[in-house]
Amino acid sequence: MSSFICSPRTINRITTYLSEAEASGSIHNSGIQFLLKKNRISLIETKKCEEFANCLLALNKIGTDTRYKENGLVQKMRFEWEHCDDFQALKSLRCLLYQCNEENVPKMKLFKVLDRLADAIAYKIIGQTKEYEAAEWD
């Protein structure tokens, strides 16, 4: 298994998607909104998005440093809005989680929250399919 630092675009997609989900008020985003609120993550303001994006980058750096037995400094990134759909958000988040999945990193609170958010996005996607709608509820 290899590990790499995700592109700023990937981190920006995740952050933008979560920010937009939080602000939407849509019932379809309720699982995401619940997890953000429960974990005291607010991404309504651009400044908060930049801080969150840099936390994601730092987590990614911890994962790669752990994998390769390095201890380098993380360069701060500049957050930029990067809109994407549910599928791209899930893929980007799963990519980040995969790159961070080293030794004790999955035990970190941020990793656990991100993993639950990925599940919430997946449930959102599934819940909007015609197959799910057609399935019995009894």
Per-residue model confidence as pLDDT tens digits over 13-22: 999 999 999 9
- Non-local (6+) Cβ contacts of 111 within 8 A are 59, 97, 100, 105
In a domain, 112, yes or no: yes
Burial class of residue 128 (count of CB atoms within 10 Å of its CB; 0-12, 13-18, 19+):
exposed
In a domain, 37, yes or no: yes
Work out the pLDDT band at 93, boundaries 50, 70, 90.
Answer: very high
Please, are residues 113 and 34 in contact by the beta-carbon 8 Å criterion? no
In a domain, 106, yes or no: yes
pLDDT tens digits for 96-134?
Answer: 999 999 889 999 999 999 999 999 999 999 999 999 999
In a domain, 2, yes or no: no
Work out the pLDDT band at 65, boundaries 50, 70, 90.
Answer: confident
Q: What is the number of structural domains in the chain?
A: 1
pLDDT of residue 58: 95
User: Which domain does 32 fall in, by range?
Assistant: 8-134
In a domain, 51, yes or no: yes
